[in-house]
Amino acid sequence: METLGNQTFQAYMVRKDEEGFRAGLEQITLADLPEADVTIQVEYSSVNYKDGLASTEGGKVVRGYPVIPGIDLAGTVIDSSDSRFKKGDKVLATGYELGVKHFGGYSPYAKVPGDWLVPLPEGLTTKEAMAIGTAGFTAAMSVESLLRTGINQDSGPVLVAGASGGVGSMAISILSELGFEVIASTGKKEQEQELLQKLGATEVITREEAYAKGKGPLSAERFAGVVDPVGGKMLEVVLGSVKYGGGVALSGMTGGYQFESSVIPFILRGVQLIGIDSVYCPAERRTQLWKHLGREWKPKSALQMGVNEVSLEQLPDTLSRILEGKAVGRTVVKLS
Ligand SMILES: NC(=O)c1ccc[n+]([C@@H]2O[C@H](COP(=O)([O-])OP(=O)(O)OC[C@H]3O[C@@H](n4cnc5c(N)ncnc54)[C@H](OP(=O)(O)O)[C@@H]3O)[C@@H](O)[C@H]2O)c1
């Protein structure tokens, strides 16, 4: 710590003040980071849809300026006043107020409350943990929620919507690792559809095919469960295709935040609509799920083929692409 002194380093900062809104790289020092229990040398962060929103003026996710976005980070503790963490420990953090109120991962150093930290689980490097990141953690929460409805590998296929995105691609990988039949729904063209099969999807359908199936409140029972990071119209149509007693794990809204439905799928088929929130997931469930992600739930296919790596300099372009719905797979940001 002392050796860092007033040494400057580059970070991606978003400001909104009397001079207007601006986002870009700045030189800062450790003293510019708001105080917190644990100081981390960040090795990797990741790029999520929410980070894209945080980098734009109308994104509505930032809860205080200035802020360094980056809702995920992983690295090594270099200083700690929290007895649970000591210098040299490998840790990760996702969610809470990281990158939207509290300075986040797009900086080679971060100061983070100890309560938000998870020890890096066995079986994962810091780069793998960030390739998984909030998206993979959300996928894991979704899968766990569907398993809690009682479904298993013999119950039938699980639909993954928004399949080429971060949550979707990680969900395909985890589900196929666990031996589930996975149907992937995507708006992307053939090249990406092939990629989804390599990730572990047994069948790939277009978004239009998925929408076309949903006429009326109930259609044929097809899916044992659904991982839905899309919402909107997708949610409307999939609710009617879930098999008796199955569930939809809803985490996102890239397809819209409003949807119309009826009580029919719930009262005639006992379908469960399960909300997924990764941000304030309690510490015990969080730590347990990360342990799974380092072991039997490790999304090996996604880690092997779907991870892009960018530098801080390449970050602005990458953030624009994710907002345009053009991102494929996960992107990690290398910090140090
Ligand atoms: N609840 C939580 O804790 C939590 C955590 C993480 C993320 N999220 C939310 O989950 C969503 C997905 O996040 P992500 O990181 O996976 O984002 P992402 O990487 O951008 O993936 C989103 C995917 O949704 C599909 N999509 C995009 N625009 C669409 C549209 N207009 N209609 C239908 N589908 C569309 C695309 O997949 P295809 O082209 O393959 O269809 C896209 O790749 C976001 O809304 C995010 O805020 C929530």
Closest residue by CA, ligand 1 atom 14:
166
> CB count, 10 Å around CB of 45?
35
92-121 b/e (C-beta count within 10 Å ≥ 16 → b): bbbbbbbbbebbbbbbbbbbbbbebbbebb
User: What does the pLDDT read at residue 124?
Assistant: 98
* CB 71 within 8 Å of CB 52: no
229 CB less than 6 Å from ligand 1? yes
**pTM of the predicted protein model:** 0.94
Closest residue by CA, ligand 1 atom 33:
255
User: What does the pLDDT read at residue 5?
Assistant: 65
Statement: residue 17 has pLDDT above 90: yes
Question: Which of the listed residues 47, 49, 55 should we mutate to test ligand 1's pocket, taking the one with most ligand atoms within 8 A of CB?
Answer: 49
Statement: residue 284 has pLDDT above 90: yes
159 CB less than 6 Å from ligand 1? no
pLDDT digits (tens, 9 = 90+) for 46-97: 999 899 999 999 999 999 999 999 999 999 999 999 999 999 999 999 999 9
207 CB less than 6 Å from ligand 1? yes
Q: Where are the beta strands (DSSP E) in the chain?
A: 9-17, 20-28, 38-46, 72-80, 90-94, 109-112, 118-119, 158-160, 182-186, 203-206, 223-228, 242-250, 272-275, 307-310, 330-334
pLDDT digits (tens, 9 = 90+) for 228-259: 999 999 999 999 999 999 999 999 999 999 99
How far apart (Å, rounded) are the C-alpha atoms in residues 148 and 74? 29
Cα torsion through 331, 42, 34, 1, rounded to 10: -170
Beta strand 9-17 pairing with 242-250:
unpaired
User: What does the pLDDT read at residue 211?
Assistant: 87
Which pair of structure tokens corresponds to residue 20? Answer: 């207007």
Statement: residue 192 has pLDDT above 80: no
Q: How many CA atoms lie within 13 A of 122 on its CB side?
A: 2
* CB 124 within 8 Å of CB 298: yes
Using N-to-C axis directions, what is the helix angle for 126-148 and 166-177, rounded to 10°? 70
Using N-to-C axis directions, what is the helix angle for 190-199 and 166-177, rounded to 10°? 40
Q: What is the percentage of the chain residues whose pLDDT exceeds 90?
A: 88
How far apart (Å, rounded) are the C-alpha atoms in residues 181 and 223? 10
- Judged by DSSP in three states, 147 sits in helix
268 bridge partner residues? none
* CB 22 within 8 Å of CB 47: no
Residue of 101, 98, 100 whose CA lies nearest to 74: 98
pLDDT digits (tens, 9 = 90+) for 29-51: 999 999 999 999 999 999 998 99
Q: Report CA(162)–ligand 1 centroid distance (Å).
A: 6
Statement: residue 190 has pLDDT above 80: no
